[in-house]
């Protein structure tokens, strides 16, 4: 079984400041890692994913994340946020090779960008 | 544009009155999922279909059922909604796990619909 912990439930940040959202996971098998964003009253949109290869992954909207296997972390970063980045962000994992790609989500981090 | 569509976006039902939520997709994906997301919580997988094969999560209540009449459509039936079933219900689709070029990792990103927010009175 897998579990995902997002250490911050809320992150307030000023516009144009950097932001880091922390994600740690636990799994007895290798996993794929994902970050999704959810805007109010909408579904989830994929920001980026790590499958293999380079541990630094670049996604949409200027986000990037770094996979650290020894620390079982997959932190999300953006060097300069916009008001439009206000949303909830979910880290998720799925076990490698699992039929149907079953995702386990963290509890979410709500980002509030202030002008 | 290829997409995942959920209808209705907002559904109000009465305590104990059966309700059906609908999901359709134009992505031609083999796998379809239903998630329940309660307020300020992470989405929780209820079940998924791999083609016509139904896979129920162990802790999904019997009150929740699903039907997939064809590749494009999947329905979530709540037989007797309780107040605790008020939530956002998310549908997602993906291709089945398959190796990329040169035997690379299986890629199976899930694509989500906008969700249906269910209110139980």
Q: How far is A59 from chain B (nearest CA, A)?
A: 14
Q: In 10 A of CB A70, how many CB atoms?
A: 5
**CATH assignment of A2-114, given 3.30.1490.20, 1.10.3720.10, 2.60.40.420, 2.60.40.10?**
2.60.40.10
Listed by start position, the domains of chain B span 4-99+108-120
Chain B nearest-CA distance from A42, in A, is 5
The interface residues of chain A toward chain B in range 82-111, judged by CB-CB distance below 8 A, are: 90, 94, 96-103, 105-108
In chain A, the residue whose alpha carbon lies closest to the alpha carbon of B31 is: A100
Read off the pLDDT of residues A29-86 as tens digits, 9 standing for 90 and up: 888 999 999 998 788 999 999 988 889 999 999 999 999 999 999 999 999 999 999 9
Per-residue pLDDT at B12 exceeds 60: yes
For residues B94 and B50, give the distance between their C-alpha atoms in angstroms, rounded to a whole number: 9
Do A101 and B105 make contact, defined as CB atoms within 8 angstroms? no
How would you label B94-114 residue by residue, b for 16+ Cβ within 10 Å and e otherwise?
A: bbebeeeeeeebbebbbbbbb
Distance between B19 CA and the closest CA of chain A, angstroms: 20
Q: What was the pLDDT predicted at A101?
A: 72
CB nearest A102 (choices: B41, B45, B112): B45
| The CATH number of the domain covering residues in B4-99+108-120 | 2.60.40.10
**Strands (DSSP E) found in chain A:** 2-6, 10-14, 19-21, 23-27, 31-38, 44-50, 56-58, 64-68, 73-78, 87-95, 104-105, 109-114
Q: Where are the domains of chain A?
A: 2-114
> Peptide bond before B17: cis, by omega within 30 degrees of 0?
no
Determine the Cα–Cα distance for residues B21 and B36; give it in Å rounded to an integer: 12
Chain B residues whose beta carbon lies within 8 Å of the beta carbon of residue A90: 42-43
Q: Which of B36, B37, B54, B38 is nearest to B46 (CA)?
A: B36
| DSSP per residue, A55-69 | SEEE-GGG-EEEEET
Q: In which band, very low, low, confident or very high, does the pLDDT at B18 lie, cut at 50, 70 and 90?
A: very high
**B41-60 per-position pLDDT tens digit:** 889 999 999 999 999 999 99
């Amino acid at each position: 079984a897998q579990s995902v912990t997002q250490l911050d439930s809320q992150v307030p940040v000023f516009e144009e400041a950097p932001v880091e959202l922390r994600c740690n996971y636990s799994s007895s098998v290798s996993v794929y890692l994902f970050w999704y964003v959810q805007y109010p009253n909408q579904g989830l949109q994929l920001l980026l994913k790590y499958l293999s290869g380079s541990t630094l992954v670049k996604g949409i909207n200027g986000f990037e994340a770094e996979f650290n296997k020894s620390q079982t972390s997959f932190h999300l970063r953006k060097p300069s946020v916009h008001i439009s980045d206000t949303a909830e962000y979910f880290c998720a994992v799925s076990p490698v090779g699992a039929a149907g790609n079953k995702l386990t989500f963290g509890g979410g981090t709500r980002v509030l960008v202030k002008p | 544009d290829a997409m995942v569509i959920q209808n209705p976006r907002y559904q109000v039902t009465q305590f104990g009155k059966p309700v059906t939520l609908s999901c359709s997709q134009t992505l031609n994906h083999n796998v379809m999922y239903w998630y329940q997301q309660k307020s300020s919580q992470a989405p929780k997988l209820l079940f998924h279909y791999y083609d016509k094969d139904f896979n129920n999560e162990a802790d999904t209540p019997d009150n929740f059922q699903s039907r997939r009449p064809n590749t494009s459509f999947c329905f979530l039936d709540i037989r007797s909604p309780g107040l605790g079933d008020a939530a956002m219900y998310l549908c997602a689709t993906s291709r089945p796990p398959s190796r990329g070029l040169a035997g690379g990792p299986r890629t199976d990103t899930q694509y989500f619909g906008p969700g249906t927010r269910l209110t139980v009175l």
